Structure 1
Amino acid sequence: MRCFYDPGQLAHAPARELHNGAFVPYAEKPARAAAIAATLGTTELPQDRGEVPIRAVHDAGYIDFLKTAPARWAEAGRPGDVMGYIWPTVRKRALKLDRIDALAGQYSIDASTPLTAQTWDASYRSVQCALAATHAVLAGERAAFALSRPPGHHAGADYLGGYCYLNHVAVAAQAARDAGVKRVGILDIDYHHGNGTQDIFWARGDVVFASIHADPATDFPFYWGHADEIGEGDGEGATLNLPLPRGTAINAFRRAQERALAAIAASGAEFLLVSFGADTFVGDPISAFALETGDYAVLGRDIAAAGLPTAIVMEGGYAIDALGANVASFLSGF
């Protein structure tokens, strides 16, 4: 399987995040990507396809914010990385705001996703990996893998959060549509719900989103991912959320994945994108499922058996010592 990776992603390295009331070391470390790359061995640099595919999904003002916020933060005399502390959750409306503090809240959903001077470039390179894997499959590969880091599925069209800045799988899905694929399926099997992906395609029927994740009643992102969220307008019925309780192991997860794959097949999807998170691992430090390393090969085989051309995009997974083995196990299923 062709695997795409750009070491430039490693430059994104925030120092701290706000977690459960305390500032703690940032969990989404560069060592995550380095561990996966070391296990894979052979990877390819992606072709640079520019900003046009990104702008097909993300708001222009938000892109400008990602590019300029670190410099504006420093100019305002702020120490450390860019981090919001106030959010427009009541009567949110379009306002022209210039102060960096206001923009940091306008374009984010949490205080756990700081911006550094290297964040835009690392996220841009990650998107290019997702696009490269997608175009490789469109050109005839059975499956391809994008080692994208930082992850992407919590990023909306105009907001960052959950360690995510650009939504790689959403950009890839739109690129597949623009290449002529009539309907795209997205299977999200990260421990946390892909709220940004859901938001982006919420009112569209041409991209079907099925997510298996920890119950948002107990886990981040809390406000998205409940079973009654099914989309609206043209997208009504094109969103499927399958929340699972903490402690879920392979059998229950596999049954949920079967439901998700069946829904994607029933939709008539011609192309599959997988948001793959290895934070479902039993040893993950910020998650609470119970999958073992060997279980990922089973899940990979089940997805491959669906018979759809498949691009796999890396999302979460924070047990760094086991991360490479878990990713390799999943890819072995293909």
Structure 2
Amino acid sequence: MKAVFDDRQRLHDPQHYMANGKTYPSPEAPERIARLMAGAQAAGCQFQAPQDAGLGPIAAIHSAEYLYFLQNIYTRWQRIPDSGPEVIPNIHPASRHDNYPSSALGQAGYHQTDTSCPIGAQTWEAAYWSAQSAITGADLVAGGERAVYVLSRPPGHHAFRDLAGGFCFLNNSAITAERLRARGLRPAILDVDVHHGNGTQGIFYDRDDVLTVSLHADPDRFYPFFWGGAQERGQGRGMGCNLNLPLARGTGDDAYMRTLDTALARIRAFGADVVVVALGLDAHIDDPFKGLAVTTPGFQTMAAAIAGLGLPLVLVQEGGYVSDALSANLTSFLKGAL
């Protein structure tokens, strides 16, 4: 299987992660790359660097205002007297329709949903090449490859059209789907990350040309909390083109697979001819976030069922954090996909 990654994706190295009123080392650390790459290579993946397709495919998903913010906010932040080393807002608007301020601090609050997406000096460059890796993966599949693995890091599925959040800045899975759609294909996004793909849902919520399906830990008591309920089915033209399948905390392989069958049936009913898998490996029983309890062999079973659709696959890396099992989990999934 071909795989795509750019070394510049290592440059994002967040120093802060605040949860429950405490600051911890970020679980979305560059160390993830080494473990994921080892897992992919153990499954037989051969890595190549992405092509630079420019901003166009990214701007097809994200607003120009937001992209300008991401490119410039770190430099502006450094002009604030006694500013910290990373862009982390401490105030947020109550509504997306509130005032768009001129200040760097105010704009950071507008464009960053939480404290898990600090922006450093090289965050934009890393996120840009993460997205370019996804775009190249889409182009490879549109050109005839049956399956491609994209080591997109930083991840993307919590990023909305103009919002960063949950370690994510550019929505790689959404960018991939839109690139495939522009190439004349009908994509479905299947998100198997332990967290709901709220940014992906938000981007396509009123559209009927991309199906979004997410299996995730029930958000009533789990990040991202405010999105991911089964009642969220889309709106306008998109009504019925969004499917959320929340799972009880601690759900293991058997129940997960039964729910995955529902997801795959919806993809078939949509008439998709390509699937973007938002590949979170954090559903594993030993992942630091402890949301679900999928086993390492369970990832192979999961991937084999997805491959059973008989459709081309773009496997875009989302979550899956540093643990002893991370490499083996990816190897297991990729072997199932093959």
Q: Distance in 1 between matches of 2:232 and 2:40?
A: 37
Coordinate RMSD, CA, aligned: 1.0
Runs ≥4 residues deviating over 4 A:
none
- How many residues are matched? 332
Q: What residue number does 1:261 align with?
A: 264
Asked whether the 8 Å contact 2:193–2:282 carries over to 1, the reply is: yes
The whole-number CA distance in structure 2 between the counterparts of 1:67 and 1:8 is: 15
- The separation in 1 between residues aligned to 2:227 and 2:100, in whole angstroms, is 27
Taking the TM superposition and a 5 Å limit, the aligned residue runs for 1:1-334 are 1-41=1-41, 42-77=46-81, 78-89=83-94, 91-93=95-97, 95-181=99-185, 183-333=186-336, 334=338
Does the residue aligned with 1:288 lie in a helix, a strand or coil? Answer: coil
After superposition, the C-alpha distances for 1:117-155 in whole angstroms (9 at most, x for unaligned) are: 111111111111111111111111111110000110000
Distance 1:331 1:3 in 2: 11
- Give the distance between the partners of 1:139 and 1:195, measured in 2 at CA: 29
* Residues 288 and 323, structure 2, Cα contact 8 Å, conserved in 1: no
Letter paired with 2:32 = R
Q: Is contact 1:123–1:149 with CA below 8 Å preserved after alignment?
A: yes
TM-superposed deviation, 1:156: 0.3
> In structure 2, what residue type is equivalent to 1:154?
H
Give the aligned residue type for 1:8: R
TM-score (norm 2): 0.96
Q: Which amino acid aligns with 1:43?
A: F
Alpha-carbon contact 1:283-1:319 (below 8 Å) kept? no
8 Å contact from structure 1 (residues 70, 115) kept in 2 = yes
Mark the CA change 1:129 to 1:157 in structure 2 (over 3 Å): closer, same or farther.
same
Kept in 2: contact 1:4–1:46 (CA 8 A)? yes
Query: Is the deviation greater in 152-161 or in 2-11?
Result: 2-11
Query: How far apart in 1 are the matches of 2:68 and 2:264?
Result: 37
**1:166-191 deviation line (CA, Å, top 9, x unaligned):** 0001011111111111x210100000
Alpha carbons of structure 1 residues 310 and 156: separation in structure 2 relative to 1, 3 Å? same
Answer with 30-39 or 300-309: which moved more.
30-39
The CA distance in 2 between the partners of 1:281 and 1:40, in whole Å, is 17
Q: 1:32–1:320: 8 Å Cα contact kept in structure 2?
A: no
Deviation at residue 113 of structure 1 after TM alignment: 1.1
Kept in 2: contact 1:85–1:105 (CA 8 A): yes
Contact 2:100 2:107 (C-alpha < 8 Å) held by counterparts: no
Whether the 8 Å contact between 1:31 and 1:320 is mirrored in structure 2 is: no
1:94 Cα shift? 5.3
* CA contact 1:279–1:319 (8 Å) conserved in 2: no
Question: Aligned to 1:134, what secondary structure does the other structure show?
Answer: helix
Q: Is the 8 A contact 1:278 1:323 kept in 2?
A: yes
Residue segments in structure 1 that go unaligned for 5+ positions in a row: none
Contact 2:27 2:322 in 1 (8 A): no
Distance in 2, Cα, partners of 1:168 & 1:128: 8
Residues 189-241 of structure 1, C-alpha deviation per residue, up to 9 Å, x if partnerless? 00000000000000000000010000010100000000000000000000000
Task: Tell whether the 8 Å contact from 2:286 to 2:323 is kept in structure 1 after alignment.
Answer: no
Secondary structure at the counterpart of residue 203 of structure 2: helix
Inter-partner Cα distance in structure 2 for 1:154 and 1:248:
22
> What secondary structure sits across from 1:39 in the alignment?
helix
- Give SS of 2:175's match: helix
Helix, strand or coil at the partner of 2:188? strand
Q: 1:288-318 CA distances to partner (integer Å, 9 max, x unpaired)?
A: 2111111111111000001111101000011
